[in-house]
Amino acid sequence: MSAASDVYKRQCKVVFVVGDFTTTIGDPTGKNKARPEISREKIESNMKTYLEQVGKILLTDEKSFSWVPNSDWFTSVTDINLPADSKIGFQVVHDGVKITTPVDPNTIVGKAIVFENTRKQVSEQTSVLRRQISVVTLTSFLWTLRHITHAQLIKRDMFQDRLAKNEDLYMHEMMYPVLQGIDSSVITTLYGSCDMEIGGTDQTFNMLMGRQIQEINKINYETAGVSSDLQAVVTMDILSGTDGVEKMSKSLDNYISIADEANDMYGKVLSIPDALIVQYFRLCTYMPMAEIEEVARDLEHGAKNPKDIKMRLAREIVAMYHGQEKALMAEAAFTNTFKHGEVPHDAAEVVITAGEKLIDVLLREHVVPSKTEFRRLIKEGAISVVETAEKIDTPDFVITKSANFRIGKRRFIKIVLK
């Protein structure tokens, strides 16, 4: 996203393509028909959360930023399935009177009315664009395929790996790069150009496919009066997660969120393995490359303590999202807690009745999300009393006196008996 930020500062518009259609297609438990109207609601809600995060880095006004789900062009009006008793109406104005005529929901016209209305609800401004673009149909998809050879697709390393291992390669998987490439072409039509695509190094093949599909469509771009320049392709290293093993991902719970509180963010950055320090400096900060190389040399020759370098990294990152002041406060809180064994001054404090179970308190206060997670923490010896460092070793632990508890590395709770 830092790269996108650089781009928008150069007066370009940033467009996020949400691959909701390609995700549905890729999902092995998929049903016969995608249900665009349902998944759209989910996308809208996901995007809302996402936009809050994006807003911390990018301007999100309409001139600088836009997002579109690719189901907008890949899903057909015919994919809409409505219950037979749906009430669909076509509104006409006659002599100044509004008349609504019912339309059979199982006809193409019925589906088309629903399709248009749904698009309208998203945003009156973008819906005009969406209603006018040439949607990708089976016909136009096959037209694209006639310009792409088997040899070209099959050479993709991922496909070659599968074949070498004698693992099944399904035909919809082979279509993936083509579908993603079409995204760039649709963005060109929708916004007048698609000058640059930014993605992870794992997307290089797909993004170059975007260039090829723009090339194929040049003649159509001329008719549509949009730019026929091929997109530049910018690839970024994939950011590793805090575990140092997998790529950063919410579902693997090895992530640092832009929306994390300053203290959490600081602590999470400190928890990364030393081997990731340079990568994080490169991908997550605006520090000049020359300085980063210096950091790398210092680490290699043991000139500096990795912990100190990580603290600088954590300060840099927290400052980007919360400002310099909060970064320094997070550092102070961390130092207090971990260097001096203190409970952070902003730890939650709850007053309970003697005899309550620890699990019930932690669940009620949302310190742990579930009993399963609680049991896992107990098993790992990750819950302890701060004052005595005594590890809690039973899930049925009952609180008999006031104490501060430490849960995992960075969660604390002050429990006071009334």
Q: Does 352 bind its own copies (CB under 8 A)?
A: no
Which of 41, 44, 49, 106 contacts its own copies by CB under 8 A? Answer: 106
CB 282 within 8 A of CB 237: yes
Q: Does 258 bind its own copies (CB under 8 A)?
A: no
Nearest CA to 231 out of 217, 258, 212, 259 is that of: 212
Which of 84, 138, 290, 389 contacts its own copies by CB under 8 A? Answer: 138
Judged by beta carbon, residue 9 or residue 131, the one nearer its own copies is 131
Q: Which stretch binds its own copies (CB under 8 A): 7-15, 28-36, 243-251, 365-373?
A: 28-36
Judged by beta carbon, residue 175 or residue 239, the one nearer its own copies is 175
Q: What residues are paired with 88 via a beta bridge? A: 103
Q: Is 280 exposed, middle or buried (0-12, 13-18, 19+ CB in 10 A)?
A: buried
Alpha carbon distance 34, 356 (integer Å): 48
The tokens describing 251, both together, are: 């579902």
Q: Which stretch binds its own copies (CB under 8 A): 5-13, 144-152, 207-215, 390-398?
A: 144-152
Alpha carbon distance 277, 313 (integer Å): 8
Nearest CA to 118 out of 107, 106, 131 is that of: 131
Q: Which of residues 370-399 bind its own copies (CB under 8 A)?
A: none
The least distance separating its own copies from the CB of residue 205, rounded to whole angstroms, comes to 15
Judged by beta carbon, residue 143 or residue 286, the one nearer its own copies is 143
Judged by beta carbon, residue 118 or residue 271, the one nearer its own copies is 118
Q: Does 168 bind its own copies (CB under 8 A)?
A: yes
Q: Which of residues 59-98 bind its own copies (CB under 8 A)?
A: 74-79, 90, 92-94
Which of 34, 272, 276, 413 contacts its own copies by CB under 8 A? Answer: 34
Q: Which stretch binds its own copies (CB under 8 A): 1-9, 163-171, 230-238, 304-312?
A: 163-171
The tokens describing 206, both together, are: 């797909």
Q: Which of residues 264-293 bind its own copies (CB under 8 A)?
A: none
Judged by beta carbon, residue 219 or residue 289, the one nearer its own copies is 219
The least distance separating its own copies from the CB of residue 89, rounded to whole angstroms, comes to 10
> Count of residues for the chain?
418
The least distance separating its own copies from the CB of residue 229, rounded to whole angstroms, comes to 20
Judged by beta carbon, residue 89 or residue 381, the one nearer its own copies is 89
Q: What residues are paired with 352 via a beta bridge? A: 417
Q: Residue written as tokens 């290699």?
A: 300
Beta strand 97-103 with 88-94: parallel, antiparallel or unpaired?
antiparallel
Nearest CA to 206 out of 178, 185, 225 is that of: 178
Q: Does 19 bind its own copies (CB under 8 A)?
A: no
Judged by beta carbon, residue 114 or residue 350, the one nearer its own copies is 114
Helix (H, G, I), strand (E, B) or coil at 401: coil
Q: Does 209 bind its own copies (CB under 8 A)?
A: no
CB 15 within 8 A of CB 68: yes
The least distance separating its own copies from the CB of residue 177, rounded to whole angstroms, comes to 11
Q: Does 132 bind its own copies (CB under 8 A)?
A: yes
Q: Does 135 bind its own copies (CB under 8 A)?
A: yes
CB 418 within 8 A of CB 351: yes
Helix axes 289-300, 306-322, angle to 10 degrees: 150
Q: What is the DSSP string of 204-249?
A: HHHHHHHHHHHHHTHHHHHHHT---PPPEEEEEPPPBPTTSSSBP-
Sign of dihedral through CA atoms 375, 378, 380, 383? positive
Q: Which stretches of the chain bind its own copies, using CB under 8 A?
A: 21, 25, 28, 30-34, 74-79, 90, 92-94, 99, 101, 106-109, 111-113, 115-116, 131-132, 134-143, 145-151, 153-154, 159, 163, 168-172, 174-175, 178, 217, 219-220
